[in-house]
Structure 1
Amino acid sequence: MFRQISVTPEHQDFQRILWREDPEELLKHDKLTTVTYGTAGAPFLAVRMLEQLVAYHEYEFPRAARVLLDDFYVDDVLTGAMNEQELLHIKEKLVLLLARAQLELSKWVSNSKRIASNAGNEIDFSKMAAKVLGLHWHPGDVLTYKVSLLEHMTCTKRQVPSETARIFDPLGILAPAVIKFKILLQELWLLNLDRDSDT
């Protein structure tokens, strides 16, 4: 998505690239003309561009505009509807709205075969899973979580918060399990242990 957002010519100099293949060569330079993924402003610019798209076309696509404002997370749309017909309508209008900015939604995952099918091909839903907000969503409305802690770690006062912080859980679904780590950390502090001594 970022590469489809143009940067105004007066700001392109801030994305100048200098390089040379050999230390003896003269420097070559170029400018990036689109938003660069990984820069500090890229997420803001992507969201701002979507907001501006809504401002321009909200009257034409009111339901799709609402989805664009409320149901986008970075470059994924996560939405739903009360029935399949309404969802098909949202998909159609969302595609039309994004086409106004020459953006295309490319991957569809849904528990509706009519939404997720690609040119009429049947999709095996049992083998599909989409990664959404740190979760793996299976179209049968099953959420799974993958947490990989170090196998052979020494349990120290430094390691417990470090491993706890690696768990990405923006929805708070794992809070009942994560709280156990936080309680353990409090108990470790009460023992006045050195940060790197084994517990």
Structure 2
Amino acid sequence: MGYTHRDAEYSPEGHEGWVVAVLPDGTDAPRDTWEEAMAAAQQHDLGWAWSLKYDGREGRPRAAGIRATCYCGWKGPKHEANFADPDNADAHAREDWHHHTEVSMAKVLPPHVSKAIETVDEAIVDLTFPQADLLRLDEHRPLAAVHAATQLRALAESMQRTAVQAARIAGFSWEEIAHPLETTRQSAHERFNRQ
């Protein structure tokens, strides 16, 4: 049964995840079809079904572990395949996949955030360069545009510090944080580690 990031449709790269069984030889078992996953989820009352059929019965090998994989080709680390408590076994794999998607989609903004940024941009441009056919002296306010941009920069820096702190608390590395900051790991660490 797949797991899709809520903003995946806005990403140029597909991100749909699955938990698959890792076979004793280290290869990944084929992921279950939708029907197989639904049947396993219902039979075992699971929230996220992985290939429980690799339990060593019916001539199939017993899974040596499980891992999350993604449509984009990413594979997470192997975790214990716990047949007695499959939902708990899945928790680590789901966390791995969520971490992967957050890092790879760091620059993919939800539409409402993109729209808010666009609205602010348009408002400042309108103060700076009012529409020529509607030009009124009180609409041409370049000094107000300077002040608005200054306030926006201060707000952005404050929000950036808060977001970096939240990312560190969530367990993201300095290298992962540097990616959306569009800087190096070292620069990100030097700038934000003191705060």
Fold match by TM threshold 0.5: no
TM-score by length of 1: 0.23
Give TM-score, length-normalised by structure 2.
0.24
Specify which structure has the bigger relative contact order, considering alpha-carbon pairs within 8 angstroms and separated by 6 or more residues.
Answer: 2
Say which structure is richer in helix. 2
